[in-house]
A and B are shown apart, each in its own frame.
Chain A
Amino acid sequence: MKLMLAADLSELNRLHAALGRFAEENALPHKPSYALELILEELFTNVVKHGLKDTNDQTVTVEVRYDGRQLTVEMIDAGRAFNPSTAPTPDVTADLDHRSVGGLGLYLVFQFVEELRYRRQDERNRLWFSLPVSSPAEAGPEESKASE
């Protein structure tokens, strides 16, 4: 599945619809399907809010593949160079009243991905990540590690 998204948060609706179709066609279990959408929302939102402020090319390309065992995703944008792995980690043990929400989205991304790689090439950010899928059908939310 390949999608070209404009740098606008309203595109999340199109992303949601496309991921829904992709999950259905591939009989993806609920949990990895949810994780995929969450990761993509967090990464896309981050790029729209911070990365693509003053660039000519306002497109974010998302390509999702599924081989029956894992999901792999490539996300490309022409925004400011930004490697998510270098983002500061929020303190998720601090009382909610003393927290800022900054960094929580990327923190969630790293809790769900199996592997994430970043490179800057041709003035573009190229993110690649993988996400494990336990079994193609009938997998409950509690058996996500079954196929490892």
Chain B
Amino acid sequence: MTPIGLNEEKRGIVTVVHLQGRLDATNCEVAERFITARLDGGVQRLVLDMAELSYISSAGLWVVMMVRKRMAAAGGTLAISQLKPTLYEVFKISGFVPFLTITSDLDTAVTAVSR
């Protein structure tokens, strides 16, 4: 499995999950389980911070899609922050950008899901 860092941070009512490293077909299920465990625990306001994520493939986009579906069904709010330019391009090409709150800094993302 490709190493990936998954760290949870609480900012008031908001949960931030910091993803570090690479999100690919070998570790996407681990990431998905880590994040959905938070949702199972009642998290309604979530930021996926990708400042230190250097690579994402369609397997990683699957994780984002699953989390977004789960949160939409539960009435939660989700934002993605600090995508590197190449990753942003992958989100854009895949048609994810119009359906997600994507911010260039973490504070804006935290504010966005707090509303």
Q: Which residues of A contact B (CB under 8 A)?
A: 9-10, 12-13, 16, 30-31, 34, 37-38, 41-42, 45, 92-97, 99, 101, 104-105, 107-108, 111, 141
Contact = CB atoms under 8 A, between A and B. Distances in A.
Contacts of B72: 97
A51 to B, nearest CB: 15
Contacts of A95: 99
B7 interface: no
A13 B55 CA distance: 13
Contacts of B26: 9-10, 12-13
Interface stretch (B8-16, B41-49, B58-66, B104-112): B58-66
Contacts of A92: 93-95
In order of increasing CB-CB distance, the 9 nearest A-B pairs are A92-B95, A105-B58, A101-B62, A104-B58, A96-B99, A45-B25, A41-B57, A34-B86, A111-B93
A102 B55 CA distance: 20
B59 A45 contact: yes
Nearest to A92: B95
B99 A34 contact: no
Contacts of B96: 96
12 contacts: A9-B25, A10-B26, A12-B26, A13-B1, A37-B55, A38-B57, A41-B24, A42-B58, A97-B69, A101-B58, A105-B59, A108-B57
**Central interface residue in A34, A45, A107, by most chain B CB within 10 Å:** A34
